[in-house]
């Protein structure tokens, strides 16, 4: 007798993705699908995706999906969740979408503790539009709009730390930053995604997983070099960890 030990998630379509080699969107999409299966929420799952490479996911995931105007995914998800609380809604947003043009929507959805799940892909750059500076671009990092490297002295500002910023608010329920550089971190990321969805199922509120990922194409690196860069540079600026976990606080209070 053969025993099935692994199956492709039904949460993604059976086709080849157009994401660049070494891009981690595919890994994250797969994990979301697996989590939805494990939690038994696939037929209640709704994806509100941002604009940018994160907006390509509609072509690969297999469940209900809608596309918000650039940056507005948290506002859109607010409307969707309020009007249909049975849906399990997550936003899928890049750093430009969530932390630049959509900063207000992100902050206020968190502040209201909207009962939604936010998957935030932080690769420090605008991918689809061709490698411009993002709010999360590291200092000194070259982009097409910071050709000499990001320099605050030139009025280009500093990297923005969304978990830390949202952690200043009373509202959010769960904030964690993870990465996908190796199997151990992929597993940790999946556990964080699962927790973020479980919180929504339990009606707990705003849960965000910030995933530090790579953009080999726009970083101008091979996929393996990009992974090294995450470990050597990105994670120094964006330390991994749980920033907010009200469920822990609730347990301790008991």
Say what the alpha-carbon torsion angle 151, 103, 244, 78 is, to the nearest 10 degrees.
Answer: -160
Q: Which is nearer to other proteins, 67 or 235 (CB)?
A: 67
Residue 156, both tokens: 């280009």
Looking only at residues 9 through 48 of this chain, which bind other proteins when binding is defined by CB under 8 A?
10-11, 41-46, 48
Judged by CB under 8 A, the residue of 3, 16, 83, 148 near other proteins is 83
* Phi (first) and psi of residue 228, to 5 degrees: -60, -40
* Least distance between other proteins and beta carbon 20 (Å): 17
* Least distance between other proteins and beta carbon 47 (Å): 9
* Phi (first) and psi of residue 91, to 5 degrees: -95, 150
User: If binding is defined by CB under 8 A, does position 168 make contact with other proteins?
Assistant: no
Residue 134, both tokens: 């993002």
Is there a contact between 211 and 122 (Cβ–Cβ < 8 Å)?
yes
User: If binding is defined by CB under 8 A, does position 80 make contact with other proteins?
Assistant: yes
- DSSP secondary structure letters along 31-99: HHHHHHHHHT-GGGEEEEE-SSGGGGGGGTB-SEEEEPSTT-HHHHHHHHHHH-TTSEEEEEEEHIIII
* Least distance between other proteins and beta carbon 117 (Å): 13
Q: Which is nearer to other proteins, 68 or 217 (CB)?
A: 68
Q: Which helix (H) or strand (E) holds 135?
A: none
Is there a contact between 180 and 27 (Cβ–Cβ < 8 Å)?
yes
Residue range at the interface with other proteins (CB under 8 A); choices 62-70, 161-169, 203-211, 219-227 = 62-70
User: If binding is defined by CB under 8 A, does position 170 make contact with other proteins?
Assistant: no
Size of the site for other proteins (CB under 8 A): 37
CA quadruple 183, 195, 40, 80: dihedral sign: negative
Q: Which is nearer to other proteins, 79 or 130 (CB)?
A: 79
Q: Which is nearer to other proteins, 48 or 234 (CB)?
A: 48
Residues 6+ positions from 211 with CB-CB distance below 8 Å: 24, 28, 119, 120, 121, 122, 177, 178, 179, 180, 189
Judged by CB under 8 A, the residue of 29, 72, 161, 204 near other proteins is 72
User: If binding is defined by CB under 8 A, does position 82 make contact with other proteins?
Assistant: yes
Judged by CB under 8 A, the residue of 17, 65, 231, 247 near other proteins is 65
User: If binding is defined by CB under 8 A, does position 121 make contact with other proteins?
Assistant: no
User: If binding is defined by CB under 8 A, does position 86 make contact with other proteins?
Assistant: yes
Interacting residues with other proteins (CB under 8 A): 10-11, 41-46, 48, 58, 62-69, 72, 75-84, 86-88, 104-105, 107-108, 112
């Amino acid at each position: 007798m053969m025993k099935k030990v692994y199956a492709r998630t039904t949460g993604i379509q059976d086709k080849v993705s157009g994401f660049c080699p070494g891009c981690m969107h595919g890994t994250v999409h797969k994990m979301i699908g697996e989590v939805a299966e494990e939690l038994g929420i696939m037929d209640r799952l709704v994806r509100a995706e941002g604009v940018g490479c994160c907006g390509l996911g509609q072509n690969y995931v297999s469940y209900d999906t809608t596309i918000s105007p650039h940056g507005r995914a948290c506002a859109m998800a607010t409307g969707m969740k309020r009007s249909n609380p049975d849906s399990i809604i997550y936003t899928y947003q890049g750093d430009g979408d969530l932390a630049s043009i959509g900063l207000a929507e992100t902050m206020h959805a968190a502040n209201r503790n909207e009962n939604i799940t936010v998957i935030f892909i932080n690769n420090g750059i605008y991918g689809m539009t061709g490698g411009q500076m993002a709010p999360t671009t590291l200092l000194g990092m070259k982009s097409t709009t910071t050709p000499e490297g990001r320099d605050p002295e030139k009025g280009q500002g500093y990297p923005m730390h969304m978990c830390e910023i949202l952690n200043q608010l009373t509202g959010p329920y769960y904030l964690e930053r993870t990465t996908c550089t190796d199997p151990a971190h992929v597993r940790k990321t999946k556990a964080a995604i699962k927790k973020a969805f479980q919180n929504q199922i339990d009606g707990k509120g705003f849960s965000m997983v910030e995933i530090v990922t790579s953009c080999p194409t726009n970083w101008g690196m091979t996929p393996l070099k990009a992974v090294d860069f995450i470990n050597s540079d990105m994670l120094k600026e964006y330390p991994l960890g749980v920033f907010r976990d009200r469920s822990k606080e609730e347990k301790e209070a008991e």
